[in-house]
Structure 1
Amino acid sequence: MPGRRAWPLHWAEGIGSNPAATDELLIRLLDVEVGFLHSCDRPAVLDAAVAHPDPQVRSRPADTFRPKLTSDQWVRLVRAEPSPSRRVLWAEHACAWGVELPEDLYDDLLAGPSRAQAAELPRLPAHRLPGLAADADPRVRATACARWEDLAAPLRALLLADTDDAVRTAAMLAHHNSVPMPREVFAALPAPRHALEQCRLSPELEAELVRDGDAEVRRALAANPRLSAHSVAVLAEDPSDDIRAAVALRPDLNEEQRAAVRYDFDPTSMSRTLPWVEGLHGDADAMRRLAVSSHPLIRRSVARARHLPPDVVERLARDEDRTVRLFLAESCDDAPAEMLLEVWRWWDGSFTHPDRPRSHPNFPRTGLLRYVGDPGGRMRRLALDDPESTPADVARLARDPQAEVRRRAAEDSRLAPADAVRLLNDPAAHVRGIAMRNPRLPARVLAELLHDRDTACTAATNPAIPVPVLHRILAAAATAVAARR
């Protein structure tokens, strides 16, 4: 608009979130603004990002909460990183996301100055271990001890007799994962925490420690997977509630034993998936057994499985703990429609699982118009998802007394242009923001929004902006960025 102030940097921030932006345009945007890469899932754009000469651009797609990179893109990102420490960092991230690194890349990482960090990569091939166990750097030798079971007996003996104190300690702790640790060895440890949490202890030492006067000692022992059944039973009667609570979550208890442990549980507390339960997600019999556990955290962890047997799904969908039902709605592809609709009444998505349960493939898609007059605003929102809903329904809900319902109407492609303009003045900021993105806005109004500093960024996300115009405002943004550098 001639004579109106331009806001090219604000436009650049918005273009990356415009669904009408082409791959070509977004690739050009990499030289101007890269914030959009946090949510970008376009293969061609991500290919260009990991091959970009600017390391900040290359790293942005990987440095997100849920990276969208393919295995090949991860490998290319690692190879392209000039910093040895950052190269290992990206390799660690890639492994955490299930990427199998090629053999020659391990060679490259282990040959660099960050060899000690590279030696800690969890999927390092076993045939590399002899070289690490005999490495000149004691940090590398100590790291090799973490793969104790993969080391041959002669290498273990060398590490147990190593000249470096830290290496010997690491070897000693690994050795006593299977061989009971006597009292004199335990007493000589510089820090006993790892031994308490992980090592197999001699019967005499164990009997002494489970009755230690220091609650921190008993607390560390409570999670030790190598503790004897007798010592577990002693800790199950510990005077400290948090120690008993830790015992109640041990995988070696049967459900009768677990139910006998007294512990306090706050159902509103944040809970994480128990690793040992997650490791059994593919075992149908284990899921059946654990789905009836007396412990809510175990049932919640079962509900996080991607797939579950029908009888387990049916049971968890009726669980008295609503967080179990929520986790089933968020994570399990087999969650039933009725339960998803029930969960929707009180939950509409989290940071980790946005828009679930509504986006779940089993969520009801028909028969939702019956909620157009429901007392609950969240249920009225669903009415416009029904394929039989009409523009008249959109117009009705665009005037709803609740902001969350007006927001749903504001994003509907059937919204009348006049209603879209009216919602630009809605008292709720999030409704106004969604209305700015609606493609039914008149071109004149959209242009006004683009030239207003407060709305320029959001307006630039509107898919009604023609692609040639997006290229023009990107060119203006590139010029503005170049002038600032």
Structure 2
Amino acid sequence: MQTFGDLSSNRLNLLLVGLATNPAAPKSLIDRLLEKPWAEFEIASRQPHLSIGQLKRILSRSGDFAAQAASLRKLPPDIAAIAARHRNSLVRQQSIISLTNQDVKFEDTVIAELERLAGDEECNVRESLARTRRLPDRIRYILLADSNARVRAALPYGWDDIPREVYNKLLADSNQAVRIAACQTRRHVPTPGMLLSLLSDRTTRATAIPFIDLVEITPPSSLLGDPDEEVRAACLGTAKFAGLAEKKLRHDESISVKVALLVSPYVSNLTRKSVYSEVMSGVTLNDPTSFIVREIVNSCWDDQSVLRWVGDTAQTDWESLLESPCLHLRRALARSSKTLPPAAICDLLKDSDPTVRTITATFARNLSEENLVKVVEECGDSTKGYPHITRRREFPATAFMRFAKSDKVRLRSLAAFRTNSVEVLGQLSSDPDFTVRLACAKNPHTSRKCLSILLRDPVDSVAQAVAANPSIPIEWMIELESYIL
């Protein structure tokens, strides 16, 4: 019993919990720990290698939290069936993923469990089932007759090949949420008569407008003056209203309409630039980080969308874009850095905001080792993206040796977590800051000698991390197991 020294009951429990989550822990040890209520949840949520018997044990006999954690896994059908009958509705809801994944054959036993879930007393369970993309039609027709509108509204989102007659039934449902959901999914093109009916219904009008370009009808021009801003904004996204919508809505003060003017392919570059200038100069709203800018960024998240804001000649406007006071815009540009010219990337790497620099270094192509290391070194302590930069193939392993000697705790912790150098880990395992020692305790390349020292660390979480490290010797696991009563 020399490895662990004198252990308090609290320290012992923490070490055993760490060992319970160790992927290299023997099955016999996990079985013994499952008898301890304080270890159930950690095992269920963090132990990657659980046997069929252990999963059955957790789902049948453990508390609700442990069962919920276990049900998040990809379960075999017979184990998922146990989860589907669990007393906790969240466990039943999560079992749907395992019962309907691509590897499962819809045999009679599986279908019987799905039918049981289709009649579950909890609406959330039935709604989740209705949203499932892989589901026998027999189950879907049961859900189609559900009395709760939330369940019917969920069906078109998961039913990719929904029959036209079923889709039309949902479009004509008595509940507006169901009609809106059917319009939003656009599984089929409605008939002209059905579309005119949807356009006359104020609850479905905005979601039905995208169908206008697909149906042979003349849309009513009154839609451009609709009191609902979402309706007016939707008109800007249709070809049939092109030109006319831009002319009538150019000076609309609605945020939704302004966002639509900026992102619509049917709006001229001249109008788009004008609206963009208003927003950025504060004519519309004085705050450069205002809601409208966030809405624009959320509406144009793909790589090319930011360029569309200033038209097809966006390359000539890089300087003004990169100098924008709006952080949302500069961060959106950084996320689009794969498509930006080299000069723009250089400017983003010099941005005053560390998050802009971090995002650029994460996504931009063909960056030098020097640039990558510099961004990581200059990141603020509150910036969380820099670990992704160190995972890039171009990131030099030698940089971790430099980080290990830094006066910044953040860099020493990063070196301890990412390096595979036994020498560097040996140096950092006695670091005065416990977060650095904690990173060493988690690193599978840390030497046995250093791990034995870290086991006696005064900080409990460091010792616990050693117990969870898959590189600890099996004899340590056996010795620790002997402490279990």
- TM-score bracket, normalised by the shorter chain, equals 0.5 to 0.7
Q: Take 2:344 and 2:56, find their aligned partners in 1: how far apart are those partners?
A: 46
Per the alignment, do residues 320 and 169 of structure 1 end up closer, same or farther by CA in structure 2, a change over 3 Å counting? Answer: same
1:81 alignment partner, one of 83, 108, 120: 83
Residue 430 (structure 1) shift: 1.8
Amino acid corresponding to residue 53 of structure 1 in structure 2: I
Please identify, of 176-185 and 405-414, the stretch whose mean Cα deviation from structure 2 is larger: 176-185
2:467 alignment partner, one of 445, 460, 464: 460
Partner of 2:42: 35
Q: Take 1:4 and 1:134, find their aligned partners in 2: how far apart are those partners?
A: 60
Q: 1:17·1:36 contact (CA, 8 Å) conserved in 2?
A: yes
Q: 2:20·2:30 contact (CA, 8 Å) conserved in 1?
A: yes
Partner of 2:15: 11
Per the alignment, do residues 257 and 17 of structure 1 end up closer, same or farther by CA in structure 2, a change over 3 Å counting? Answer: farther
Q: How many residues align?
A: 413
Q: 1:88·1:109 contact (CA, 8 Å) conserved in 2?
A: no
SS of the aligned residue for 1:81 comes to: helix
TM-score between the two structures when normalised by the length of structure 2: 0.60
Q: Take 1:109 and 1:165, find their aligned partners in 2: how far apart are those partners?
A: 25
Q: Deviations over 1:435-465 (max 9, x none)?
A: 6665465687556448x86865355356775
Partner of 1:387: none
Q: Take 1:46 and 1:347, find their aligned partners in 2: how far apart are those partners?
A: 43
Q: 1:30·1:57 contact (CA, 8 Å) conserved in 2?
A: no
Of Structure 1 and Structure 2, the greater helix share is in 2
Per the alignment, do residues 328 and 109 of structure 1 end up closer, same or farther by CA in structure 2, a change over 3 Å counting? Answer: farther
Q: Which runs of 5+ in 2 are unaligned?
A: 213-218, 281-287, 306-311, 322-328
Q: 1:251·1:276 contact (CA, 8 Å) conserved in 2?
A: no
Q: Take 2:189 and 2:201, find their aligned partners in 1: how far apart are those partners?
A: 17
The residue correspondences of 1:199-218 to structure 2 (distance < 5 A) are 199-200=209-210, 202-209=219-226, 212=227, 217-218=228-229
Q: Take 1:329 and 1:80, find their aligned partners in 2: how far apart are those partners?
A: 46
Q: Deviations over 1:12-38 (max 9, x none)?
A: 233256576567656765555243665
Residue 244 (structure 1) shift: 1.7
Amino acid corresponding to residue 336 of structure 1 in structure 2: L
Partner of 2:324: none
- In the alignment, does 2:127 pair up with 1:117? yes
Per the alignment, do residues 198 and 31 of structure 1 end up closer, same or farther by CA in structure 2, a change over 3 Å counting? Answer: farther
Percent identity between the aligned chains? 15
Q: Deviations over 1:336-361 (max 9, x none)?
A: 34453453244489998671101112
The residue correspondences of 1:136-215 to structure 2 (distance < 5 A) are 137=147, 139=149, 141-144=152-155, 150-155=161-166, 158=169, 164-165=174-175, 169=179, 178=190, 179=192, 192=203, 195-197=205-207, 199-200=209-210, 202-209=219-226, 212=227
Q: Take 1:168 and 1:28, find their aligned partners in 2: how far apart are those partners?
A: 50
Partner of 2:376: 344
Q: 1:110·1:118 contact (CA, 8 Å) conserved in 2?
A: no
Q: Take 2:51 and 2:381, find their aligned partners in 1: how far apart are those partners?
A: 27
Per the alignment, do residues 4 and 406 of structure 1 end up closer, same or farther by CA in structure 2, a change over 3 Å counting? Answer: same
1:266 alignment partner, one of 281, 289, 293: 289
Partner of 2:325: none
Per the alignment, do residues 167 and 447 of structure 1 end up closer, same or farther by CA in structure 2, a change over 3 Å counting? Answer: closer
Residue 11 (structure 1) shift: 1.1
1:359 alignment partner, one of 376, 386, 391: 391
Q: 1:95·1:101 contact (CA, 8 Å) conserved in 2?
A: yes
Per the alignment, do residues 401 and 236 of structure 1 end up closer, same or farther by CA in structure 2, a change over 3 Å counting? Answer: same
Amino acid corresponding to residue 131 of structure 2 in structure 1: L
Q: 1:14·1:457 contact (CA, 8 Å) conserved in 2?
A: yes
Amino acid corresponding to residue 289 of structure 2 in structure 1: D
Q: 2:153·2:181 contact (CA, 8 Å) conserved in 1?
A: yes
Per the alignment, do residues 256 and 415 of structure 1 end up closer, same or farther by CA in structure 2, a change over 3 Å counting? Answer: same
Partner of 1:383: 402
Q: Take 2:360 and 2:136, find their aligned partners in 1: how far apart are those partners?
A: 38
Amino acid corresponding to residue 8 of structure 2 in structure 1: R
SS of the aligned residue for 1:361 comes to: coil
Partner of 2:58: 53
Q: 2:206·2:230 contact (CA, 8 Å) conserved in 1?
A: no
Per the alignment, do residues 275 and 171 of structure 1 end up closer, same or farther by CA in structure 2, a change over 3 Å counting? Answer: closer
The residue correspondences of 1:299-314 to structure 2 (distance < 5 A) are 299=333, 302=336
Amino acid corresponding to residue 204 of structure 1 in structure 2: S
C-alpha RMSD over aligned residues: 5.5
- In the alignment, does 2:270 pair up with 1:231? no
Amino acid corresponding to residue 383 of structure 1 in structure 2: R
TM-score between the two structures when normalised by the length of structure 1: 0.60
Amino acid corresponding to residue 141 of structure 2 in structure 1: G
Q: Take 1:10 and 1:187, find their aligned partners in 2: how far apart are those partners?
A: 64
1:471 alignment partner, one of 462, 466, 478: 478
SS of the aligned residue for 1:430 comes to: helix
Q: 2:416·2:436 contact (CA, 8 Å) conserved in 1?
A: yes
Per the alignment, do residues 83 and 206 of structure 1 end up closer, same or farther by CA in structure 2, a change over 3 Å counting? Answer: farther
Q: Take 1:199 and 1:60, find their aligned partners in 2: how far apart are those partners?
A: 43
Q: Take 1:406 and 1:156, find their aligned partners in 2: how far apart are those partners?
A: 58
Residue 316 (structure 1) shift: 7.1
SS of the aligned residue for 2:435 comes to: helix
* Larger RCO (CA under 8 A, 6+ residues apart): 1
Q: 1:126·1:150 contact (CA, 8 Å) conserved in 2?
A: no
SS of the aligned residue for 2:94 comes to: helix
Partner of 2:408: 402
Q: 1:74·1:94 contact (CA, 8 Å) conserved in 2?
A: yes
Partner of 1:244: 258
Per the alignment, do residues 273 and 167 of structure 1 end up closer, same or farther by CA in structure 2, a change over 3 Å counting? Answer: closer
Partner of 1:374: none
SS of the aligned residue for 2:58 comes to: coil
- In the alignment, does 2:436 pair up with 1:431? yes
Q: 2:223·2:235 contact (CA, 8 Å) conserved in 1?
A: no
Q: Take 1:134 and 1:445, find their aligned partners in 2: how far apart are those partners?
A: 62
SS of the aligned residue for 2:388 comes to: coil
Residue 225 (structure 1) shift: 7.9
